[in-house]
Structure 1
Amino acid sequence: MSGFDNNKKGSFLATIPVASIELDDDTLTKRCKFNFSYFYKQQASQSFDEWDHGQLIKLFEKIKDYSNDSLNHWRKQPIGKKSGHVLEVYGAFPSNSDFTLPKHVPHQAQWGRFRLESAVRLVGFVLPSDYNNKFHSCGERYDCNTFYVVFLDKEHAFYKMERK
Structure 2
Amino acid sequence: MAKSKIKPNQKKSIIAEAIEKKKSVSDLVDNGLFKISFEHFDREQGQRFEEWQESKMLGEALNTLWNYCFQPLFKQYSDKFTVYGDFPPSNKTEFSHPKQVPQDAKWARIHVNGLHCLIGHVIYDTFYLVFLDQEHKFWISELKNT
Same fold (TM over 0.5): yes
Task: Figure out how many residues of one structure are paired with residues of the other and give that number.
Answer: 120
Q: What is the match of residue 64 of structure 2?
A: 62
Paired amino acid for 2:88: P
Q: Please state how far the C-alpha of 1:18 moved relative to its aligned partner.
A: 7.0
Write out per-residue CA displacement over residues 47-67 of structure 1, whole angstroms, 9 at most, x where no aligned residue.
111123521111111111111
Say which one has the larger Rg: 1
2:87 is aligned with 1:93: yes
Give 3-state SS (helix, strand or coil) of 1:98's partner.
coil
Is this contact kept in 2: 1:42–1:99, CA < 8 A? Answer: no
Q: Which amino acid aligns with 1:19?
A: K
Q: Distance in 1 between matches of 2:32 and 2:21?
A: 20
Which runs of 5 or more structure 2 residues have no equivalent in the other structure?
1-19
Out of 16, 19, 24, which is 2:22 matched to? 19
How far does the alpha carbon of each residue in 1:109-129 deviate from its partner, in whole angstroms, 9 at most, with x for none? 1011111112110000012xx
SS at match of 1:51: helix
Tell me what 1:111 maps to.
Answer: 107
Percent identity between matched residues is: 32
Aligned residue identity for 1:42:
E
Aligned-residue offset at 1:163: 4.2
Q: Does 1:124 align with 2:115?
A: no
Report how far residue 68 of structure 1 moved.
1.3
Alignment partners' CA distance in 1, 2:100 and 2:116: 24
Structure 2 residue aligned with 1:146: 126
Q: CA deviation at 1:32?
A: 0.4
* Deviation (angstroms), 1:69: 1.4
Alpha-carbon distance in 1 for matches of 2:84, 2:62: 24
After TM superposition, where is structure 1 displaced by more than 6 Å over at least 4 residues in a row? none
TM-score (norm 1): 0.65
Q: Identify the residue that residue 42 of structure 2 maps to in structure 1.
A: 40
Gap runs ≥5 in structure 1: 1-16, 78-84, 128-143
**What TM-score does the superposition give when structure 2 sets the normalisation length?**
0.73
- C-alpha distance in structure 2 between counterparts of 1:88 and 1:51, whole Å: 21
